[in-house]
Structure 1
Amino acid sequence: MIFQILTIEDFYILFTKIIVSFFCGFFIGIERTRVSAQYGARDHIFFSMISTALIVLYDKFLPVSEGFTLIIIFYTGMILFLMIGSVYRLFHENDPGYTSTLSMLLAMIVGSLTYYNEYLAIVISVIFLIILSTKKQFNRIKSLQDIEWTGTIEFIAIVVLLYILIPEGLEFYGILIKPIIIIFITILVVKYFSYFLLKSSFEKNLYYISFLGGFAHSEATTIELAEAGASSTSVWLVVQTMLIRMLIVLLIAPDLLTYALYPILLTSLVGLSGSFLILRKKETTLELSKIKNPLSLKGSLIFTGTYFLAVIVSIISNVLNFNVIIFYFVVFGMGLLSGGASSLFVATLFQTNLVNTGNGLIMLSIGLSAAVFNKLFYSTRSLRANRNKKVYFFHLLFYLLITIIILAFMTILTITIFNLSIL
């Protein structure tokens, strides 16, 4: 029956995917076998291949409703099996074996992904093998003992599920969803690995810590620097890394990014150079313990919620034919909450032709200026009690005003030089 439904070519394609699923399960499970964990390579291979087979049945052989029901039943059973195993180990060995349980869940996810993109599945499996293989060495570093290794699994799961579940061409009022999801994932990648480098490093130079902390989580870094009584210049540096990170967001709108590079990079260059001259020799015992894994639900909800509300406002404004000035106020409000969401909103407006390049640059400048300004609020509110708040406030205000003025000036200069319309 199978050969009547499938062509020989399709059969070999599916067979190849099953083989890839086998090796993905092997890569994920081999390290677990080496350390004599509860679940070894064979268990991971089994879970991976079962997941691939379920997706094949769902997509090729079964009606949608029956196939979906089958997947739910099997996946639920597999997850319950893992949970029972963890509970058993918790009561009998006082160790639930979360790493092995999570690696089995990853085998399920990667097995499902293999059907859609075997190359990505292989990359994820190999990366996970490397992470688990070096975990023991990493745990010798005290600062890395607090890293949530489950966060790595969560990160991979988020990437895989979003990649699989969001179909190509899905639109919401003319806004393509998949590119936005890809940009969001890219930002998570940058933030996650910045967080990892920050936690794993022995480096105590304030410039280095502020630089990486800004990439990982600018608000949390700002708060902790203020609580530790660090120089206001360190917050200025955090702002520069935040601005650089915004360039990733603008990848969704390459034409806008081409012009935005000039004001953002030149502004960041001034800030990075100035802060380097001040902080290059300053050492600190600051651990940045408040900077948690950037894959937090709270951060994602703030980003997504802010962006979603702004999109709703833009749709209403477009339907009612409001003036573009309304968008300026929306972008400023968004920037106070999330610079990333503000920049993504501007890029979305540009891609849907609701604003032109000139207005897009102005709106970017407004949103980023608001995001820069909110660091003043975060830092002064959290400043260590023995610091002179008034002096600190005016020093930081001076640095932030330099950034905002340069950003605004370079934006206007870019619009003028390239003769960009704002009408």
Structure 2
Amino acid sequence: MTQVEFYNLFVKIIVSFFCGFVVGIERTRQSAQYGARDHIFYSIIATTLIILYENYLENIGMWILSITIGGMILFLLIGSVYRLFHEEDPGYTTTLSMILAMVVGILSYYNFVLSIAISVIFLIILSTKKQFYKIKELQRIEWTGTVQFIAIVVLLLILIPEDIVIVNINLRSVIIIFITILAIKYFSYFLLRYSAEHNLYYISLLGGFAHSEATTMQLAEIGASSASIWLVIQTMLGRMILILLLGAVELLQYAFLPILLTATVGLFGSFLILKNKKTKLKFRKIENPLSVKSALIFTGTYALALLVTFILDYFILQNFIAYSFISFLIGLLSGGASSLFVTTAFLSGLINSGQALILLAIGLTAAILNKIFYSLQVLDTKKNKKKYAIHLIFYQSITIFLLVSSTILTIYIFSLPFL
């Protein structure tokens, strides 16, 4: 087995772990009979069986695969039948989620993007199945901000032709990516804003997608554990996968493992710490990320960086240090804008794949570090600021170390160009 083949199999195992965790975490929150660990176990077993079947046991692998998976499903069904006669809740949802963990484990080998998508959608469905009754409480100002943004989107799509190319960048493609990102941010905000749920996990995950800076400040303001900020950071990393998936799939195949490895450790660590903390908290409303103000801040940050890039390109000053500096500054303001900037520079040919990975890590590092400033300026006065800062910096250091080291390792393994 070559080093690259081992790397690919390792990625599949990590994806399987992540998907099992995502599918099972809501069941853990509901104190179901099978929690996140059980889902991870089932998912990784399924992935391992497929790896053995596809690579080592082609002749007898199908029998082993069928017997093992059949036995695992039979075990779950027997448990459901037993609970049907001995408990009030037979736990059908949990049984189905365990079977789904096996399915996403198998898919992790063949199509990791589909596996992650199914896991996340399943988590959203389970987390929000009782949450939509507050939709009628939409405030006029939120409707106004949303309608204004949608109007701008429609105008942009109508007025900007498909063939406008600036410095090898198709402007319409960038706008579509930008719109998609904000739409997902708003979908997360919508679920969060009109949910009856006040669970810390729920707020941190969805709030991180909707508006990570605003969520960070709110968590600090109400005195939530610094580990909840660590959880918000992981959703920010997840957003970067989305940006690359929409705009630079070629780059995603290299950036995926560093992001996923970092996010998986962060999710596992933050949940491990938060399980002993108070998780039922009262939050005020998070800012609408689809308002004109928020959209202009995001757009302005990205546009300014793009303008500087065009100037550098015009004067043939394609200096990697300059791009690193730009990525870091944008990241301090917006992690999403920084990732979009790097993606655009990569697609335009201004930087190569190795440089793009480094710039992504730099921008995300800045976006991670800015959480310390956002949180400390509004931290609940009852909290020990020094202790809070030390804990948060420790969590951030773990994330940054994993992100940077795995990025460098990826560049080395794939021999990506850097200079």
1:306 touches 1:341 (CA, 8 Å); kept in 2?
Answer: yes
- Structure 2 gaps, min length 5: 1-131
CA distance in 2, matches of 1:300, 1:152: 10
* 1:274 equivalent in alignment to 2:269: yes
CA distance in 1, matches of 2:192, 2:392: 24
Aligned to 1:305: 300
1:289-333 CA-to-partner distances (Å, cap 9, x unmatched) read 2x1211122222222222222122222222333322211111111
AA of the residue aligned to 2:333: L
Aligned to 1:295: 290
| 1:333-344 mapped onto 2 (5 Å cutoff) | 333-344=329-340
AA of the residue aligned to 1:154: Q
CA distance in 2, matches of 1:418, 1:171: 31
CA distance in 2, matches of 1:395, 1:403: 13
Aligned to 1:254: 249
| 1:264-413 mapped onto 2 (5 Å cutoff) | 264-280=259-275, 282-289=278-285, 291-322=286-317, 323-413=319-409
Deviates more, 1:246-255 or 1:188-197: 246-255
Moved over 4 A (4+): 144-147
Equivalent position SS for 2:290: coil
Match of 2:156 among 156, 162, 170: 162
| 1:117-196 mapped onto 2 (5 Å cutoff) | 138=134, 148-196=142-190
Match of 1:219 among 210, 213, 219: 213
2:218 touches 2:283 (CA, 8 Å); kept in 1?
Answer: no
CA distance in 1, matches of 2:229, 2:164: 39
Scaled by the length of structure 1, the TM-score of the pair is 0.64
Scaled by the length of structure 2, the TM-score of the pair is 0.65
1:100-126 CA-to-partner distances (Å, cap 9, x unmatched) read xxxxxxxxxxxxxxxxxxxxxxxxxxx
After TM superposition, give the deviation of residue 146 of structure 1 in Å.
8.0
1:4-37 CA-to-partner distances (Å, cap 9, x unmatched) read xxxxxxxxxxxxxxxxxxxxxxxxxxxxxxxxxx
Between 1 and 2, higher relative CO (CA 8 Å, sep ≥ 6) is seen in 2
Aligned to 1:12: none
CA distance in 2, matches of 1:355, 1:140: 48
CA distance in 2, matches of 1:183, 1:157: 17
After TM superposition, give the deviation of residue 209 of structure 1 in Å.
1.0
1:174-218 CA-to-partner distances (Å, cap 9, x unmatched) read 321111111111111111111111122222221111111101100
CA distance in 2, matches of 1:196, 1:252: 25
After TM superposition, give the deviation of residue 275 of structure 1 in Å.
1.2
After TM superposition, give the deviation of residue 279 of structure 1 in Å.
2.2
CA distance in 2, matches of 1:165, 1:140: 34
AA of the residue aligned to 2:412: T
Aligned to 2:411: 415
After TM superposition, give the deviation of residue 260 of structure 1 in Å.
1.1
Match of 1:208 among 181, 189, 202: 202
Equivalent position SS for 2:264: helix
AA of the residue aligned to 2:263: S
Q: Percent identity among equivalent residues?
A: 59
CA distance in 2, matches of 1:202, 1:257: 36
CA distance in 1, matches of 2:193, 2:309: 39
1:71-106 CA-to-partner distances (Å, cap 9, x unmatched) read xxxxxxxxxxxxxxxxxxxxxxxxxxxxxxxxxxxx
CA distance in 1, matches of 2:255, 2:205: 21
Match of 1:197 among 191, 204, 207: 191
After TM superposition, give the deviation of residue 139 of structure 1 in Å.
5.2
CA distance in 2, matches of 1:273, 1:137: 31
2:210 touches 2:289 (CA, 8 Å); kept in 1?
Answer: yes
AA of the residue aligned to 1:362: I
